[in-house]
Amino acid sequence: MVPALTTSRKPAPGPLPAALHTARRAVPGAAESELVLDLGPESVQVVLTQAGPYSRHVLAAVEERSPSASLAVVAEPGQLFWVWLITPVAAWDEDPGRTFRYAQGTVILPPLTRTGPPGAYWVRTPHSRLVDPGVLAGAVREAARGQSSPVHEVGRLTAEER
């Protein structure tokens, strides 16, 4: 049996934190144009998914489950994980070893206008909401079973996904 997303309530995708549009502060390792976002149980959390075909499976499954969803997903060439900004949840037990949730700390994000390499970039630029953790959890379960979307070519990013 696949573990389920554990929450005290059914979370709805939260609005994007205002800080995502305004957060620019001095943080070691952050460039002046990068965004700095503080994570927390009342604001935003991140889920990391294993980069490569696995994350592309997850992306395709999220888009199939919720075609009009606003997604907030960051990747960086050569890095091991994609970063998904989600509405806070009490726990995350999906596919341990290939996904991890961070509820506290700071994350450095690329400018919202960077939608391709070099460097970190938005695979999907957020417009108004965070990723729905329930939809992401279902997509992770699907990817863990090795199912892919017939809509997306597995193993290669389309021009839109770069």
Please give the tally of structural domains in the chain: 1
41-85: pLDDT as tens digits: 778 889 999 999 999 999 999 999 888 777 889 999 999 999 999
Is 1 inside any structural domain?
A: no
Per-residue burial over 79-98, b if 16 or more Cβ lie within 10 Å, else e, is eebbbbbbbbbeebebbeeb
For residue 73, what are the domain limits?
19-146
Residue 140 in this model has a pLDDT that exceeds 80: yes
CA distance linking residue 17 with residue 51, whole number of Å: 25
Tell me whether residue 95 is in a domain.
yes
pLDDT, tens digit, 9 for 90 and up, residues 100-115? 888 888 888 898 889 9
- Predicted TM-score (pTM) of the model is 0.72
